[in-house]
Amino acid sequence: MASKKAVLVYILEILRDETDANHTLSQEEIRSILAKKYELTVDRKTLGRHLNDLYESDNFNIKCEESTLGADGSIRRTNFYMIHPFEEAELHLLIDGLLASRHINPNQRQDLINKVSSLGSRYFKSHGGQINSTSGYLMRSQELFLNIDLIEKAVTEGRKISLVYYQPDVDKKLHPNLDATGNERNYIFNPYQLVASRGQYYLVGNHDNHDDMSTLRVDRIGQINVLDIRRKPLRDIQGYHNQNTFNVQQYMNEHIYMFGGESVTVSFEAKRSIVNQILDWFDGNVTFTKVTDHKVECRVHVNREAFKYWALQYMQSVKVLSPSSLVFDVREAIRDGLAQYV
Whether 185 and 219 share a structural domain: yes
Structure confidence at residue 283 as a pLDDT band (50, 70, 90): confident
Q: What is the pLDDT of residues 25-64, one digit of tens each?
A: 999 999 999 999 988 888 888 898 889 888 888 888 898 8
| Per-residue model confidence (pLDDT) at position 226 | 96
Q: Is residue 173 part of a domain?
A: yes
Instruction: Identify whether 255 is part of a domain.
Output: no
Residue 157 reports pLDDT greater than 50: yes
300, part of any domain: yes
120 and 146 both lie in a single domain: no
Domain count for the chain, please give it. Answer: 4
Domain that holds residue 111: 88-130
Is 29 part of a structural domain of the chain?
yes
Instruction: Answer whether residue 252 is part of any domain.
Output: no
Q: Given this model, what pLDDT does residue 130 score?
A: 43
Are 124 and 206 contained in the same domain? no
Residue 269: predicted pLDDT: 95
Sorting pLDDT into bands at 50, 70 and 90, what band is 135?
very low
Quick one: pLDDT band at residue 72, thresholds 50, 70, 90? Answer: low
Segment 220-248, tens digit of pLDDT: 899 999 999 999 998 998 888 877 788 87
- 291 within some domain: yes
pTM for the full predicted model: 0.57
**pLDDT at 258 exceeding the cut of 70:** yes
Q: Which of 69-73, 110-114, 332-336 is the most confident on average?
A: 332-336
State residue 118's pLDDT score: 84
Strands 295-303 and 287-289: antiparallel
The CATH number of residue 269's host domain is 3.30.70
Question: Does one domain contain both 214 and 272?
Answer: no
